[in-house]
Amino acid sequence: MFGICLSNMASKGRNTESSEEMMGRRDSMPMAVGDCRGCGRCADNCPTGAIAIDDGWRVDLGKCIFCMDCAMVCANGAIEEVPAPDYALTREELVVGPGSDPASLERPLDEMTRRMFGRSIALRELDTGSCNACEVDLNAMSNQFYDMHRFGIKVVASPRHADGLIVTGPMVNNMREAAERTYEAVPSPKIVIASGTCAISGGMFVKGDVASKGISPVLEPNLYIPGCPPAPDKVIRALVKSLGLPH
Partner 1 sequence: MINEMETEPETFRDEASALRRDGFRLMDMFADEPWGGSRTVNALFRKGAEVVRLWYSSGDVAADISDLIPSALPFERRMSEMSGMSFGIELDPIVYRRKGRGHPLQKASYDRSGEERIPIPHNMTGGDDVFEIPVGPVHAGIIEPGHFRFSVAGEPVIELNPSLGYTHRGIEKLMEVPVTRDMSRLVERISGDTCVANCIAYSEIMDSGSCIPRRAACIRTLIAEMERLYNHIGAVAGVCTDTAFNVPSAIGCGLQEKVMRMNAGLTRHRQLMNCVVPGGVRRDINDQRLRELDDFLIHLKFEVDELEGIMMDSPALLDRMETTGTLTREKAELIGAVGPIARASGIESDVRKDIPYERYGELGMSLVTASRGDVHARTAVRFGEISESISLVHQCIEWMEPGETRIPVRPRDGFHCSAVEAPRGELVHSAIVRDGHIWRYSVRDPSFVNWFGMCHAVPGNVVPDFPLINKSFGLSYSGNDL
Give whichever of 9 and 112 is closer to partner 1, judged by the CB atom.
Answer: 9
User: Applying CB under 8 A, does 10 fall inside the site for partner 1?
Assistant: no
- Binders of partner 1 among residues 77 to 106 (CB under 8 A) are none
Cα distance between residue 220 and residue 187, in whole Å: 15
User: Applying CB under 8 A, does 61 fall inside the site for partner 1?
Assistant: no
User: Applying CB under 8 A, does 18 fall inside the site for partner 1?
Assistant: no
Minimum CB separation from partner 1 for residue 104, in Å? 26
DSSP string over 145-159: TT-GGGGTEEE-SSG
User: Applying CB under 8 A, does 203 fall inside the site for partner 1?
Assistant: yes
Instruction: For residue 193, give the H/E element and its range.
Output: strand 191-195
Q: Contact with partner 1 (CB under 8 A): which of 15, 18, 76, 104?
A: 15
Minimum CB separation from partner 1 for residue 115, in Å? 27
The number of residues in the chain equals: 247
Identify the burial level of 212 via C-beta atoms within 10 angstroms of its C-beta, where 0-12 means exposed, 13-18 middle and 19 or more buried: buried
Give whichever of 66 and 87 is closer to partner 1, judged by the CB atom.
Answer: 66
Site string for partner 1, 112-131 (x = CB under 8 A): ------------xxxxxxxx
Minimum CB separation from partner 1 for residue 135, in Å? 5
Give whichever of 76 and 174 is closer to partner 1, judged by the CB atom.
Answer: 174
Minimum CB separation from partner 1 for residue 151, in Å? 17
User: Applying CB under 8 A, does 225 fall inside the site for partner 1?
Assistant: no
Cα distance between residue 153 and residue 195, in whole Å: 15
Cα distance between residue 198 and residue 170, in whole Å: 4
The answer to whether residues 171 and 217 touch, using CB atoms and an 8 Å cutoff, is: yes
Return left, alpha or beta for 7; rule: phi > 0 is left, psi -120 to 50 is alpha, else beta.
Answer: alpha
Q: Contact with partner 1 (CB under 8 A): which of 42, 215, 228, 240?
A: 228
Cα distance between residue 132 and residue 114, in whole Å: 30
- Binders of partner 1 among residues 129 to 158 (CB under 8 A) are 129-140, 142-145, 155, 157-158
Torsion sign, CA atoms 228, 230, 232, 234? positive
User: Applying CB under 8 A, does 69 fall inside the site for partner 1?
Assistant: yes
Give whichever of 31 and 228 is closer to partner 1, judged by the CB atom.
Answer: 228
User: Applying CB under 8 A, does 214 fall inside the site for partner 1?
Assistant: no
User: Applying CB under 8 A, does 162 fall inside the site for partner 1?
Assistant: no
Beta carbons within 10 angstroms of residue 161's beta carbon: 14
